[in-house]
A and B are shown apart, each in its own frame.
Chain A
Amino acid sequence: MALRGAIVVDNEKCKGCGVCLANCPTDTIALAKEVNSKGYNFAFMASPESCTGCTNCATVCPDSCITVYRVKI
């Protein structure tokens, strides 16, 4: 049984600190080239197929801007 996951980042709240990327075991996340209205390069799911929904990224996010979804397949 495998796990597939997905994250949704609140782009406007994200400050682009990079702490989530550093703690993602599957290198799913990257910082966007675009910026939000505050000028931050927000985090996004760069390789969606690799996310397992482990919640590590959301657990360490200081600004609580990541929601994690997970399904068993």
Chain B
Amino acid sequence: MSRPVVPSRWWAHPGESLWVRMVLIVVVAGLYVAWIDNVGVNTGLGSVLMLIIPGALFALAMGVSYGWCGLVTFGQGAFFSMGGFTAALLREKELSPLSVVVLGGVVGGFAAWVFAALVLRRSTSLWFAMLTLAFGQFLFEYGNKSSHFGGPDGIAGIPRGSVFGQDLLMQWPFTIYSLIVATVVMLVLAVVYVSGFGMVGRAARLNSQRAEALGLNVVMIQVTMFGVSGAVAGVAGVLLAQQQSFFSTGYLGLQFAGAAIVAAMIGGVNSYWGPLIGFTILALAQNQLAGSTLGSVGWDLVLGVGVVIIVLLAPDGLMGGLDSARRSLGRRMTRRARVDRRRESSEPRAPEAVGEGS
């Protein structure tokens, strides 16, 4: 039988060789950071990477919620903060940083799952978006009033600890530790993305009525996927808290969530890599702009213009744009090849067979 010709879209659809790619990325990035540190050319790549990872994971959590199952959310900062405060409140317990990461993920994920289960039982996606906003704002106010969370001043002194005998206090061990945690998260998400569960989630975003009429339990999928998203946000919160040794209710605010939403949109909410890439680009751009005379006004301007460009030119973000460009290029090339072949032989061509019955 002839196999159907499907252009491999690894940036959008993580396939079988994902393990290899992930490990390569970690090794290369780790080596690079280690090299920079040792050479002493502190260009700040290590610190930028270290800063980028929690934010990028947070943007990914936004993508998992909206792009992977169609739930618009403004409240992901709440689950991020639950992770962060898990680390902050356990700061004197001398736990391994990895177990705190796992704990933060469980807390964020469980809270998100319960929230979605309660809300989606009765209401529509639009109300869901509104309620995430209300939920985030409520926690923000509550956190600031309550004495447990350090109020606006936050909680300092969160330890980084050590993993397998390696002290994480220095920059590069911590960067590599963050990279490894992020990689594990990405691997788990890859399994989610390519599974039937991930597929139905995307279907729920594209046309939830049709998905239900086919017999797919859209609400169950959305609730579960929102839990996954909350877990990713929780892990990101722990990483940020450990990295800064500090956490505060500021991350519950809308500004933080807004930046992540924009980043996810720029990269492409629906794709696997999109939010990560979007956030990285934004972070690097902001890093560049910070030194320039434009200052913070310029930054908002860049964000605004970026969003408008994305919405107008590539509604599926950079990754979506890349994908469709590649597809249309591929089509054009096949067409040309076909015309060439027809010129060579005047025989009528049999229709292409795709995927035989088994």
Same complex for A and B? Answer: no
